[in-house]
C-alpha cells in the first residue's frame, strides 16, 4: 500500500494552521493570566488575614495589655510635655530630661491616686457594704411593688394577659437582680483581683513607650523606602497619633465629668448610694453606648425598688440621665474630641456592635479606636492614589491672552504655554530620597477634609 505524500502547499497550510492555533492558545493564556493572578492574590490575602486573625485571637490578652498601655501613655503624655517645658536657670534656658520628667509625672500621679483612695475609699466601702446588705430589702420591697401592680390591674379591670405579662416581667427582673447581686458581683470582684498582676504591667510598659517613643517612630520610618513613602508614613503616624490622642483624652475627661455630674445629680434627687453609682457611671463611660445604658438600668432598678424612693423618683432619674446624655453627646463631647476623630453616630453604633460580636467587651472597648485608625488609613490611601492628580490640577497651564492680529512688518513670536500658580504656597517642596524624618515639617491637616498638604522644606 502506497502513502501519498502531502504537497508543499498543503504542508504550508498545515504549518500556518498550527501557528495560528499556537498563537491563539498563547493569547488566550495571556488573557486569562490576569484573572488567574487576581484570584490567586485574593486567596493568598484571605489566607493571610485568616492566619493573622487566628494569631490575634490566641494572644488576645497580650494585645489588650499593650492597648491599655498605649492608652495610659496617651493619657499622661501631655503632663510629661508640660513638665518638660523650658525654664530659665541663671539666665540660661534649660529643659528637663525626658526620664526625669516621666519620674516626676509618675510620682505625682500615683501620689494623687493614693490620696484620693485614702479619702474616698472608706466612704465608698461603707456604701458598697450597705448596698450589699440592702439587697434583701430591695427584694422584699420589689415583691410589694408587684402586689401593688396586681391590685392596680384588678381595680382597673385590665386584661389578664396584660397583667400576667407585667407580673412575669417584674418577677423575672427581681430574680435576675437577686442573682446578679448574689453571684455576679462576687465573681466580678474575683475577676478584677485576677487582673491586678496584669494591670501592674500597664504603667511599666507605658513608661518605656513614652521614653522610647521617638526611637520607635524613627525605626518604623527607616523601614520604609526613602522619599515619598517615608513622608507618607510620617504623615500617617502623625494623623493616627492625633486621632488616638484626641479620642483617649476626650474619653478620660468625659469619664471624670460624667462621674462627677452623676454623683451630684443622684445626691440631689435622693437616689440611694449616689457615690457608688457615680463611680460606676464614670468608669463605664469609657465603654461607648453600653456603659450609659448599664448605669441607667441600675439607677432605675434601685430607685424603683428602694423603700426610700418612689416611682416618681425613678422617672426624674430617667429624665436627668436622658438630658445629661443629650447635652454630653451633642454639646460637650464634640468640643472635647475636637477635629481629631470625626465619626458619624451610625458608624460608632455599627462599630460597637461589630466589636461586641468579634471580641466581646474588649471589642466594644477597642471598636472606636480601630474604626478611627481605619478612617485615617483610608484617607491616606486616597491621598496617595490621588496626589499626582492633585499636583497636576494645581499646575494647570494658563491660557494665553488672545493674540492681536499681527502687523505685516513685525515678526510673529509664538509663546509656549507657561505654568503658573495662583497661590505660591499651595505647592511646596516635595521630599526627595535624601529627606530625613526630622526635615519634614507641615501644618496639621483637618482629618475630616482629606486635604493633601506637601511638607514645607527649609
What local confidence, expressed as pLDDT, does residue 36 receive? 75
What local confidence, expressed as pLDDT, does residue 349 receive? 75
396: left (phi over 0), alpha (psi -120 to 50) or beta: beta
Going from the C-alpha of 332 to that of each of 57, 240, 245, 260, 338, the distances in angstroms are 36, 23, 17, 14, 10
| Cell numbers for 68 | 491599655
How far, in Å, CA of 377 to CA of 383, rounded?
A: 10
What local confidence, expressed as pLDDT, does residue 213 receive? 83
Phi, psi of 288, deg, nearest 5:
-60, 145
What local confidence, expressed as pLDDT, does residue 455 receive? 40
What one-character DSSP code corresponds to residue 95? -
What local confidence, expressed as pLDDT, does residue 166 receive? 66
pTM over 0.85: no
| Cell numbers for 300 | 432605675
| Beta-ladder partners of 87 | 94
Q: Cβ neighbours of residue 245 under 8 Å, at least 6 residues apart?
A: 74, 77, 340
- Report residues of the chain scoring pLDDT below 50: 1-3, 388-433, 435, 437-438, 440-458
Amino acid at each position: 500500500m502506497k502513502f501519498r505524500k502531502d504537497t508543499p502547499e498543503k504542508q504550508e497550510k498545515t504549518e500556518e494552521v498550527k501557528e495560528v492555533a499556537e498563537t491563539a492558545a498563547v493569547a488566550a493564556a495571556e488573557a486569562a493570566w490576569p484573572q488567574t493572578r487576581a484570584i490567586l492574590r485574593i486567596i493568598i490575602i484571605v489566607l493571610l488575614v485568616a492566619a493573622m486573625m487566628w494569631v490575634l485571637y490566641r494572644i488576645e490578652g497580650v494585645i489588650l495589655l499593650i492597648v491599655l498601655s498605649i492608652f495610659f501613655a496617651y493619657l499622661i503624655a501631655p503632663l510629661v510635655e508640660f513638665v518638660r517645658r523650658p525654664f530659665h536657670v541663671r539666665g540660661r534656658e534649660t529643659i528637663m530630661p525626658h526620664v526625669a520628667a516621666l519620674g516626676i509625672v509618675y510620682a505625682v500621679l500615683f501620689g494623687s491616686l493614693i490620696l484620693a483612695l485614702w479619702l474616698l475609699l472608706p466612704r465608698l466601702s461603707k456604701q458598697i457594704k450597705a448596698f450589699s446588705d440592702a439587697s434583701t430589702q430591695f427584694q422584699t420591697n420589689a415583691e410589694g411593688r408587684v402586689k401593688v401592680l396586681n391590685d392596680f390591674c384588678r381595680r382597673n379591670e385590665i386584661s389578664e394577659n396584660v397583667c400576667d405579662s407585667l407580673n412575669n416581667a417584674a418577677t423575672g427582673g427581681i430574680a435576675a437582680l437577686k442573682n446578679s447581686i448574689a453571684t455576679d458581683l462576687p465573681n466580678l470582684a474575683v475577676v478584677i483581683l485576677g487582673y491586678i498582676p496584669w494591670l501592674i504591667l500597664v504603667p511599666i510598659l507605658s513608661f518605656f513607650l513614652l521614653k522610647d517613643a521617638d526611637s520607635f517612630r524613627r525605626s518604623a520610618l527607616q523601614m520604609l523606602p526613602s522619599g515619598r513613602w517615608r513622608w507618607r508614613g510620617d504623615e500617617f503616624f502623625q494623623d493616627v497619633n492625633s486621632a488616638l490622642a484626641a479620642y483617649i483624652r476626650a474619653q478620660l475627661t468625659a469619664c471624670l465629668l460624667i462621674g462627677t455630674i452623676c454623683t451630684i445629680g443622684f445626691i440631689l434627687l435622693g437616689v440611694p448610694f449616689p457615690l457608688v453609682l457615680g463611680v460606676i457611671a464614670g468608669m463605664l463611660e469609657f465603654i461607648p453606648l453600653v456603659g450609659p445604658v448599664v448605669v441607667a438600668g441600675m439607677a432605675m432598678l434601685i430607685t424603683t425598688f428602694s423603700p426610700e424612693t418612689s416611682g416618681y423618683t425613678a422617672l426624674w432619674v430617667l429624665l436627668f440621665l436622658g438630658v445629661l446624655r443629650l447635652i454630653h453627646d451633642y454639646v460637650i463631647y464634640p468640643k472635647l474630641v475636637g477635629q481629631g476623630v470625626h465619626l458619624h453616630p451610625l458608624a460608632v453604633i455599627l462599630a460597637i456592635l461589630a466589636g461586641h460580636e468579634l471580641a466581646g467587651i474588649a471589642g466594644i472597648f477597642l471598636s472606636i479606636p480601630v474604626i478611627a485608625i481605619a478612617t485615617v488609613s483610608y484617607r491616606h490611601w486616597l491621598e496617595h492614589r490621588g496626589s499626582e492628580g492633585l499636583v497636576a490640577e494645581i499646575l494647570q497651564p494658563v491660557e494665553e491672552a488672545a493674540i492681536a492680529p499681527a502687523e505685516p512688518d513685525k515678526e510673529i513670536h509664538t509663546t509656549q504655554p507657561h505654568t503658573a500658580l495662583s497661590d505660591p504656597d499651595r505647592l511646596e517642596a516635595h521630599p526627595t530620597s535624601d529627606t530625613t524624618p526630622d526635615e519634614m515639617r507641615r501644618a496639621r491637616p483637618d482629618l475630616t477634609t482629606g486635604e493633601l498638604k506637601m511638607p514645607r522644606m527649609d
